[in-house]
Amino acid sequence: MESTTQNLFELAVTINGTRYERKVEPRMLLSDFLRHELDLTGTHVGCEHGVCGACSVLMDGRPVRSCLMFAVQVNGHEIVTVEGLGTIDNLHPVQKSFQEAHGLQCGFCTPGILTTVVAFLETNPNPSDEEIREALSGNLCRCTGYQHIVDAVRLAAEKMKEK
Amino acid sequence: MEKKLIGKRIMRNEDPRLLTGQAQFVDDVNLPGMLHAAFLRSEYAHARLVRLDVSKARQHPGVVAVFTAEDMGKDWFPGPPLVSPPPTVEDVVFHSRRQVPLVKDKIRHAGEAVAVVIAENRYIAEDAAELIEAEYESLPVIMNIEKALEADSPLVHDDLDSNLAAQLSQKKGDYEVARKAADVVIRRRILIERGAAAAMENRGVVAQWDAKGQALTVWDTTQAPIPIRNGLASRLGLSESQVRVIAPYIGGGFGPKIMMFYPEEMLIPWLAMKLNRPVKWIEDRRENFYATTQERGQVHDVEIALTRDGKVLGLKDDFLHDTGAYDPYGLTIPINTQCHAMGGYDIKNFTSEFKVVFTNKIIVTPVRGAGRPQGIFVIERMMDAAAKELGIDPVELRKRNLIQPDAFPYEHGIIDQAFAPLILDSGNYPAVLQKTLDAIGYEKFIKDEQPRLRKEGKHVGIAVAPFIETTGIGPYEGARVTVEASGKVNVATGIGTQGQGHFTSFAQIVAEQVGVKVTDVRIVTGDTAEFHWGTGTFASRGAVVAGSAMHAASSMVRKKIFTLASKILETPEEELELEDGVVRIADMPQRSISLGELALLANPLRGAVEPGTEPGLESTAYYGPRYGPTAFGAHAMILEIDPDTMMVKIRRYVVTEDCGTVLNPLILEGQVHGGVSMGIGNSFYEQLHYDENGQLLNASFADYLLVGATEMPHIEVHHVETLSPLNELGAKGAGEAGAIPVPALFAQAVENALHDQSVEVMEMPLSPNRLFELAKS
Amino acid sequence: MKIEGEYIFDGPREAVWKLVRDPEVLMKCLPGTQTVNKISDTEFTGEVTVRIGPFSGAFAGRVIVSDEVPPQSCTLTVEGTGKIGFLKGVGSIAMTELEGGKTLMKYGGEAQIGGKVASVGQRLFDSVSKSMAKQGLDTLNEILKSSNA
């Protein structure tokens, strides 16, 4: 199989509110497109086979595994990555809650968890601990044992209710 | 020492960057002109490399180069030994065999790198790697460590007489005498398998050679940037000052990232110099299972000798340890196992001999626990077997044998992994055990709840496991603390950070002395340009050793602050206070000077620096203990098993941790939670399945099961603080503690739950299938 | 990995045997076979493209036939290497005549699979090997029936 600069697809996609137009090979993964083409390195790749969830981003508001998608599949869609949730000076309530509850250690799995949690709390703003754990079951973390992550999600739900 | 910041649940300094995706990991490094590497790895576990033809790969468009061992010429040679055998133990057998950058003639484990392709991007590099033609003559594969030592076994290393890599014995007292005096001697065979560290971030190396400036920069997912820097300088014929190794944010270490020098670590910097372009290699998950080190099996033949009323007179533990295809990491893991095989018990007679065996699998190097879980599993299983045999309650039996608070420092008379004497410095073991028993409600559960649940037909078990953890070993670490003109403090140390919160816990130590806010302390770890003496992050030593160096350096800076402020404010030091970055006269607070101003005055533009003093408010200090402190803990668990499916549900999980002074309880709890999750993985979910041809059959997260949020119980963490007399902080390490007693705990709980099926668990890990088999037999 | 099974052919044993020992017929039967070369009466090489889950690739293989007791039984030793992995296996087939001019074939064997496909495709081997065997035997049966007709 040869890779060439022919057969490039003209991709147009909105990411974190900005529209990007790029020519990409059809086989380029969305995770690689975000990280290498656009230098949005906040989304991390943990397994490249769709199990760990570190690469999760939001496509039209729903979490998807960017390692299991081709960049061309998001043509015409809206993507939100961790960079679009908040900034260092203006953290999203979910991000702030993770800091307060110590819901991260090495931080590698965290971006995928943040996007998953943001989408989860939109559909389930009042979750029980069991529902939180269920919602997190598609994200692997090797550092935290999940306990403080659950605390962070609970705290985030409270914070967002107050808003 | 009055503590305003140490011991507080302070939020982490590093989190805003990590939470917003702004923290730089190795794969985030993006350099102009950067090339990408992909490896051709052997699929055979044991084979001769007969033919290697890379010509088609070289011709693939977008490929810049393909290298084999032949192409490296005189630059091809094995990696260095990292940890030599202990010089102080007699009759040590040690055959050092180290890994190579690329295979030259013989493959010794599946996944060994045979050729490397460098191309414009990773997609092309992998395409080209498929065009390489390799012919192998497969050889019989050595998988089982007992069979490997048989006389007719094929050899992993043909220049040796056998597959014995090492042999070492340690003795304390006289076990034979103890055995003769005992009322009861119990023998068991114990099999323990561990697993992969499986950090979420795979390994990676990026190297850039600046030919004009004659400087090499390497970003590496290493837990030990300084030894990598030194080793690379030596391998590449450079001065150490020409090489900068940066371990930026690392996505979890857990041990394998301190293994040095992986073939890729040897190759990628060499390639960057050879091609004069930056080169990046990032491991993918399947490679991680094949080419990153792991911990595997030990087979123990154990004997425990006791009196009728449960006093342990002696212990004998002979075992085999699988080291894989090479043994660069010395005897660290099996020596740790030996040092933990007596647990926290007062055992006066001990003998242990281990044999380390080569096999055709990836190298074994420490994974969180590093041999300690195996030692604790052995002693705790024997205590449980003894309790059954003697008809003594298992908790009571342990209480009768724990080292008492007045027995410290307790010298075992054997040596530990750092070649230092195994001395347990301090502890209050009975108090910690009791706290756990109270927290889980042991008495009440055994008397009331369990009988009631059993009547209902439920299979619910309880278990309690105490354990020791040797921590904080040498050789040393260092730190440099500097107050800057801004009034903020800059700190550098040689170790790296992989999520343990050093940027915060270390800032607390410094801020405590230098009188600033924790958020005004900038910690730099893992950059050899900032600090270049030290070892690395491993063996639960970061907080104790680097932290102690930070404490010492900050204390020296505090003295300089007071000395200088006293001169400027013309007031004796005793009348000054330091708080919030300002020094003021206690009785006249309007007379004050900020640290920033002091820092400027300490760096004179005119005038002299007096002999014997240094400019600035800066100090560097080193801390190198003769031996490390020993932490203690006790875990307890209530576990329910469904006897039809043999699936488990952990109903309660309690930890009491005594790691001396706790720097930041939030961070400590996180470390305990994470350790327990890995321990639960090692007990029930994780298992590396190799077939008889050395093929790893579950090299993906689909089949190598990491615990998720729905498998983890809620963990209650309690603290006891028995300060260590070995360092001024009074601290002991805690990074691995969560993982150490869990397999022992699990085995006990399972036996207790399946009370009506007389199951004895002398192996790890378990699984529903295995439990079913054990229950049937 | 163990493979075993039974198949009933719509034809006499001698006819089945003849087809089984004909490399051109095998090429038509084994799904994914690209080429078959006869080295001798008892040795064949060939190329087969296999798809197992996410992996698909060409295997260069060699088959050696031994312990022949025509038209009853024989042993097949198989070796194959490709980009996605390698395979070694030994199997045997045994055929008996049934009433109505049919033939019962019993087959069994063990294969060792290594490489990429072994590390992630384990759980698929059973079903893939079963479906490949069924497809191959069905095709062989069709050829048998059409040659009888």
Predicted confidence (pLDDT) per residue in A72-107, tens digit: 999 999 999 999 999 999 999 999 999 999 999 999
> HSE (CB half, 13 Å, CA atoms) of B456?
10
Q: In the numeric block, which tokens belong to residue B420? A: 């230092």
By CB neighbour count within 10 A (0-12 exposed, 13-18 middle, 19+ buried), where does B531 fall?
Answer: buried
In a domain, A29, yes or no: yes
Does residue B770 surpass a pLDDT of 70? yes
Q: A16 in the Ramachandran plot: left (φ > 0), alpha (ψ -120 to 50) or beta?
A: left
Which of A84, A106, A137 finishes a domain? A84
Q: Using the Cα atoms of residue B387, residue B391, residue B395 and residue B401 in order, give the sign of their dihedral.
A: negative
Does residue C30 surpass a pLDDT of 60? yes
Residue A5's pLDDT band (cuts 50, 70, 90): low
Q: Which residues of C touch B (CB under 8 A)?
A: 83, 85-86, 112-116, 118-120, 122-123
DSSP B258: G
Other C-beta atoms closer than 10 Å to the C-beta of B476 total 16
Distance separating alpha carbons of residues A19 and B382, to the nearest angstrom = 65
Residues A80 and A134 in one domain: no
Residue B685's pLDDT band (cuts 50, 70, 90): very high
Q: Which A residues in the span 32-51 are in contact with B, Cβ-Cβ below 8 Å?
A: 35-36, 39-49, 51
B47 vs B76, B149, B546, B755, C40, CA distance in Å? 20, 20, 44, 48, 29
Tell me the angle at which helices A147-162 and A110-123 cross, rounded to the nearest 10 degrees. Answer: 40
Percent with pLDDT over 90 in chain B: 94
Which residues span the domain enclosing A111? Answer: 93-162
Residue A2's pLDDT band (cuts 50, 70, 90): very low
Domains identified in chain A, total number: 2
Query: At CB < 8 A and 24+ separation, what contacts does C34-40 make?
Result: C34/C58
Task: Look at residue A115 and give its three-state secondary structure.
Answer: helix
Residues A72 and A34 in one domain: yes
In a domain, A57, yes or no: yes
Residues B259 and B237 in one domain: yes
Q: List pLDDT tens digits, range B128-149.
A: 999 999 999 999 999 999 999 9
Q: List pLDDT tens digits, range B69-85.
A: 999 999 999 998 777 77
Distance separating alpha carbons of residues B175 and B170, to the nearest angstrom = 11
Residues A48 and A21 in one domain: yes
Query: Which one, of B313, B315, B289, lies nearest residue B303 by Cα?
Result: B315
Residue B43 to residue C116, Cβ atoms within 8 A:
yes
Other C-beta atoms closer than 10 Å to the C-beta of B77 total 12
Residues B362 and B452 in one domain: yes
Distance separating alpha carbons of residues C103 and C73, to the nearest angstrom = 12
In a domain, A3, yes or no: no
Amino acid in the structure at residue A66? S
Over residues B104-113, mean pLDDT: 97
Does residue A4 surpass a pLDDT of 60? no
Residue A1's pLDDT band (cuts 50, 70, 90): very low
Q: Residue A88: phi, psi to the nearest 5?
A: -55, -35
Q: Provide the β-strand partners of residue B717.
A: B655
In a domain, A1, yes or no: no
Over residues B164-193, mean pLDDT: 97
Residues B391 and B419 in one domain: yes
Residues B95 and B244 in one domain: yes
Pairing of the two strands C43-52 and B106-107: unpaired
Amino acid in the structure at residue B12? R
Distance separating alpha carbons of residues C92 and C69, to the nearest angstrom = 11
Does residue C125 surpass a pLDDT of 90? no
Distance separating alpha carbons of residues A46 and B27, to the nearest angstrom = 11
Distance separating alpha carbons of residues C89 and C110, to the nearest angstrom = 6
Q: Residue B189: phi, psi to the nearest 5?
A: -105, 130
Instruction: Provide the number of CB pairs (under 8 Å) joining chain A to chain B.
Output: 194
Give the per-residue pLDDT at C122. 79
In a domain, B165, yes or no: no
Over residues B193-217, mean pLDDT: 98
Which of A49, A84, A119 finishes a domain? A84
Residue A142 to residue B15, Cβ atoms within 8 A:
no
In a domain, B13, yes or no: no
Residues A108 and A45 in one domain: no
Task: Look at residue B265 and give its three-state secondary structure.
Answer: helix
Other C-beta atoms closer than 10 Å to the C-beta of B568 total 13
Distance separating alpha carbons of residues A138 and A123, to the nearest angstrom = 17
Percent with pLDDT over 70 in chain B: 100
Other C-beta atoms closer than 10 Å to the C-beta of C121 total 21
Does residue A3 surpass a pLDDT of 50? no
Amino acid in the structure at residue C97? E
CATH number of the domain that residue B445 is part of: 3.30.365.10
Residue B696 to residue C119, Cβ atoms within 8 A:
yes
B701 at C interface, C-beta within 8 A: no
Mean per-residue pLDDT over chain B, rounded: 96
In a domain, B149, yes or no: no
In a domain, B445, yes or no: yes
In a domain, B336, yes or no: yes
Residue C120 to residue B691, Cβ atoms within 8 A:
no
B341 vs B86, B187, B306, B319, B765, CA distance in Å? 19, 15, 16, 11, 18
The radius of gyration of chain C's CA atoms, rounded to the nearest angstrom, is 15
Residues B566 and B581 in one domain: yes
- The answer to whether residues B82 and B224 touch, using CB atoms and an 8 Å cutoff, is no
- The answer to whether residues C52 and C87 touch, using CB atoms and an 8 Å cutoff, is no
Domains identified in chain B, total number: 3
Give the per-residue pLDDT at B86. 74
Q: Which A residues in the span 117-156 are in contact with B, Cβ-Cβ below 8 Å?
A: 132-134, 136-150
In a domain, B181, yes or no: no
DSSP B314: E
In a domain, A4, yes or no: no
Residue B638's pLDDT band (cuts 50, 70, 90): very high
Other C-beta atoms closer than 10 Å to the C-beta of B59 total 11
In a domain, A2, yes or no: no
Q: In the numeric block, which tokens belong to residue B539? A: 């063996």
Residue A134 to residue B715, Cβ atoms within 8 A:
no
Q: In the numeric block, which tokens belong to residue B398? A: 């342990």
CATH number of the domain that residue B77 is part of: 3.90.1170.50
Which of A84, A108, A127 finishes a domain? A84
Q: To which residue do tokens 């062989």 refer?
A: C140
Residues B523 and B641 in one domain: no
Residues B619 and B663 in one domain: no
Which of B623, B641, B670 finishes a domain? B623
Instruction: Residue A107: list chain B partners with CB under 8 A.
Output: 14-15, 18-19, 23, 249, 251, 499
Residues B610 and B738 in one domain: no
In a domain, A43, yes or no: yes
Residues B702 and B587 in one domain: no
Domains of chain C (ranges; CATH) run 2-148 (3.30.530.20)
Residue B1's pLDDT band (cuts 50, 70, 90): low
Q: List pLDDT tens digits, range C39-69.
A: 998 999 999 998 887 788 899 999 999 999 9
- Least Cα separation, residue B286 to chain C (angstroms): 8
Amino acid in the structure at residue B308? R
Distance separating alpha carbons of residues B448 and B437, to the nearest angstrom = 15
In a domain, A156, yes or no: yes
Q: List pLDDT tens digits, range C89-121.
A: 999 999 999 999 999 999 999 999 999 889 877
Residue B589's pLDDT band (cuts 50, 70, 90): confident
B774 vs B88, B297, B646, B761, CA distance in Å? 43, 20, 11, 8
C54 vs A3, B757, C50, CA distance in Å? 20, 43, 11
By CB neighbour count within 10 A (0-12 exposed, 13-18 middle, 19+ buried), where does B24 fall?
Answer: middle
Q: Find the CB nearest B695 among C83, C118, C123.
A: C118
Does residue B507 surpass a pLDDT of 90? yes
Residue A42's pLDDT band (cuts 50, 70, 90): very high
Residues A53 and A75 in one domain: yes
In a domain, B20, yes or no: no
Which of B276, B291, B306 finishes a domain? B291
Query: Which one, of B476, B474, B456, B553, lies nearest residue B513 by Cα?
Result: B553
Other C-beta atoms closer than 10 Å to the C-beta of B83 total 17
Pairing of the two strands B297-306 and B279-282: unpaired
Residues A68 and A28 in one domain: yes
- The answer to whether residues B252 and B201 touch, using CB atoms and an 8 Å cutoff, is yes
Over residues B596-612, mean pLDDT: 90
pTM: 0.95
In a domain, B654, yes or no: yes
Distance separating alpha carbons of residues B356 and B319, to the nearest angstrom = 9
Does residue A47 surpass a pLDDT of 70? yes
- The answer to whether residues B678 and B739 touch, using CB atoms and an 8 Å cutoff, is yes
Over residues B408-424, mean pLDDT: 93
DSSP C109: E
- Least Cα separation, residue B269 to chain C (angstroms): 28
Residues B254 and B339 in one domain: no
Residues in CB range of B719: below 8 A, 6 or more apart: B656, B657, B658, B662, B665, B668
Residues B277 and B303 in one domain: no
Q: List pLDDT tens digits, range B248-304.
A: 999 999 999 998 899 999 999 999 999 999 999 999 999 999 999 999 999 999 999
Residues A68 and A124 in one domain: no
Residues B367 and B467 in one domain: yes
Which residues span the domain enclosing B759? Answer: 297-473+627-776
B762 vs B148, B335, B502, CA distance in Å? 22, 21, 38
Query: Which one, of C118, C114, C108, lies nearest residue C88 by Cα?
Result: C114
Does residue B621 surpass a pLDDT of 60? yes
Over residues B400-405, mean pLDDT: 98
Which of B267, B291, B315 finishes a domain? B291
Give start and end residues of each alpha helix (H) in A88-128: 93-101, 110-123
Residue B674 to residue A144, Cβ atoms within 8 A:
yes
CATH number of the domain that residue A138 is part of: 1.10.150.120
